[in-house]
Amino acid sequence: MIKEMVCVSCPIGCMLTVELNEKNEVLSVKGNTCKRGEQYAVDECTNPVRMLTTTIKVSGGKLPVVPVKTSKPVPKGRMFDCMQVINNEIVDAPVKMGDVLICNICDTGVDIIATNDD
């Protein structure tokens, strides 16, 4: 099977062509102009992850929500579960940038961090 994707590891955005076998193992990567592109293609085909950025509701703050992000990328297949937890959370003000608002969300080993004050 052949998959085509754009490498997003840098702004150049090389178009990658990835050859996979029937077990979804990567046989070859073409189109990358550096090693990072090859690693990106392998990760994207075997364990795709994403940084999650969103907001959490705040009780008693200046604003009703505070922006947050994950402390590291989350497996793509767990994004929906994480968003459900975040959407059901209400944190108490004051919130400081860098505060850990949710520890180990959905047992992913990833924390949810405030990216601003409230």
- Other CB atoms closer than 10 Å to residue 16's CB: what's the count? 20
List the structure tokens of 73.
């990328």
Q: Which is nearer to ligand SF4, 13 or 109 (CB)?
A: 13
Q: Around Cβ 100, how many Cβ atoms within 10 Å?
A: 12
* CA–CA dist 43, 60 (Å, integer): 41
Site string for ligand SF4, 32-71 (x = CB under 6 A): xxx-xx--x-------------------------------
Nearer to ligand SF4, 9 or 55 (CB): 9
Shortest CB 71 distance to ligand SF4, Å: 23
Quick one: 101 exposed, middle or buried, by C-beta within 10 A (0-12, 13-18, 19+)? middle
Is residue 12 a contact residue for ligand SF4 (CB under 6 A)? yes
Q: Under the criterion CB under 6 A, does residue 10 sit at the interface with ligand SF4? A: yes
Q: Cβ of residue 49: shortest distance to ligand SF4, in angstroms?
A: 16
Nearest 5°: phi and psi at 7? -70, 125
Q: Does 15 bind ligand SF4 (CB under 6 A)?
A: no
Q: Give the single-character DSSP code of 30.
A: E
Residue numbers at the binding site for ligand SF4 (CB under 6 A): 7, 9-10, 12-14, 32-34, 36-37, 40
